[in-house]
Homo-oligomer: A and B are copies of this chain.
Amino acid sequence: MNLKAQLLHIQAGGRNVAILDDASASYLGVHSSDRVKISYKNKHTVAIVNVAANFPRGSIGLYEEPAKKLGVEKEEDVKVELVTLPESLSYIQAKINNGRLRGNEIELIIRDVVEGHLSNIELASFLTALHIHGLSMDEVEALSRAMVKTGRTLSLGKKPILDKHSIGGIPGDKTSILVVPIIAAAGFTIPKTSSRAVTSAAGTADRVEALCPVSLSVEEIRKVVEKTNGCMVWGGALELAPADDIFIQIEYPLAIDPMLLPSIMSKKKAIGATHVVLDIPTGRGAKIKTMGEAEALAADFMDLGKRLGMNVQVGVTFGEQPLGNAVGPALEAREALSAIMGNCPPDLYEKATNLAGILLEMVGKKNGRQLAQEILKSGKAEQKLREIIEAQGGNPKVKAEDIAVGDKKAEVIADKDGEVLWITNEGIAKIAKEAGAPKDKGAGLLLKTKLGDHVKKGQAILEIVAERSTKLESAIELARKIQPIGLSKKPEDRMLMERIPTPVVHKKTFILDR
């Protein structure tokens, strides 16, 4: 039937959606979630139908996605007909019922995800089924390949290409800002893409942005890497794996992350990585709690790497407290810059030189860790970082104190003597976010003490930094409530860890930053 196109001028999150009124839907025999083929001039597109009782009769409402594909720019007649549901949906249904998916079936699903042919309902069900049933390594490989195939790639035309990635979850983890310059200074190519914070106080892209622009095009990245061997850019707009950007939207409210392996590894493949060191922070308060789990996940990453033609090695790192002392975009950038200039917190130094060392040994260097330490100590890493900053459009002469941080500050004071027995990652991240991070770039916090330190009553254990006083107030309030730093003389003096029911209920935070 012919219907008048109504342009809604609203995006549907990449999904190809159209709205029909009850009467037209009934005439076409269409229910919500059915598909219609819409034709305009010599163009066609298939859209997911939403039936809305109050929509004007004889009209079809076009969200921006189908309107663009059809080239409809004003109210004009389009032809609308019912078509069968996409074949990919039958494979999603098979997965819901615990079926195994073949490579071509997975590719069809991923293509339809990227084309916007699958609805939020169908995507949510698919990801939930993957979360519950799990994925075979064949499925993981096929998903990774399909995600690369449907995205853009960066070909630098040389080998080896090195890369470093963390599965995330540790507040203050600015390791990449040290590792990338070390590797690049050693003469190897490392085109690092990072994400912004989704649920954390800062992503690596947010941290680097306090030093230089990070939203570069693929062409700009190529030039930066040609000049400096490395880069540190935001991967979000590069469309390396556009399917994953859609999956993240769905996973976020559900607090599930079944695509961890294909999500990370498809992006490594897309930038042409040949050698990847993967950081799996482990421990209470980290995504991965035990060494056993970390080893199993590491084996999967290495297997997947092999299947995709990449050499992957894993560093399982201590993840029971934040890394370094600073949390929040600008505060972390300051700390990273000071660190590379010689004033490095010991845990950050340990972690960065170990991971860089693994990468260097993977490409044939002897004593990788020692080499990394030398590059750091010699000032070559700092020089390389400044080259990269300049190539990406920042000020190569930037000093730590040039980086603006919030001027509203408050200290949290120890209420007794004791040793720091625990620091909860989740609590620290929450307080930094309450202070305004990552939106307020200069907000966050500074840890004045770390695990094992001995503190005296009245000593500052935390400094909260904010750009706005209201944010500072509510962060102080939150810190008081959740007490993220646990003090005791000896563990045996503090055997009661939690009293249930506690007067304060706070929910688990889901970490989705990759």
Contacts and interface: CB of A to CB of B under 8 A. Distances in A.
Nearest to A126: B128
Contact of A256 (B27, B90, B96, B98): B96
18 contacts: A9-B54, A10-B19, A11-B54, A12-B52, A13-B52, A31-B198, A34-B253, A85-B253, A89-B253, A92-B254, A96-B131, A96-B132, A96-B254, A119-B253, A121-B123, A122-B253, A122-B254, A124-B128
B253 A507 contact: no
A237 to B, nearest CB: 11
Interface in A91-148: 92-93, 96, 98, 119-125, 127-129, 131-133
A1 interface: no
Given A96-B131, A254-B121, A54 B64 contact: yes
Given A10-B8, A54-B9, A85-B253, A121 B120 contact: yes
Given A11-B53, A52-B11, A133-B132, A439 B256 contact: no
Nearest to A35: B253
Contacts of A29: 433, 439
A255 B9 CA distance: 32
A50 to B, nearest CB: 7
Contacts of A444: none
A252 interface: yes
Contact of A52 (B10, B50, B96, B121): B10
Contacts of A121: 120-121, 123-124, 250, 253-254
A133 B61 CA distance: 38
Contacts of A92: 254
A255 B93 contact: yes
A61 B9 CA distance: 11
A378 B391 CA distance: 96
A32 B254 contact: no
A33 B64 contact: no
A169 B19 CA distance: 29
A55 interface: yes
A250 B252 CA distance: 19
A158 to B, nearest CB: 35
A249 interface: yes
B249 A32 contact: yes
A146 B31 CA distance: 26
Contacts of A85: 253
A26 interface: yes
Nearest to A508: B90
B32 A13 contact: yes
Nearest to A54: B11
Contact of A120 (B8, B27, B119): B119
Given A31-B252, A125-B127, 11 more contacts: A10-B52, A10-B54, A13-B51, A34-B253, A96-B128, A120-B124, A121-B123, A121-B254, A125-B125, A129-B132, A132-B133
A61 B10 contact: yes
B122 A125 contact: no
Contacts of A90: 507
Contacts of A439: 26-27, 29
A250 B31 CA distance: 11
Contacts of A33: 249, 252-253
Nearest to A433: B29
Contacts of A55: 10-11
A26 B252 CA distance: 16
Nearest to A9: B54
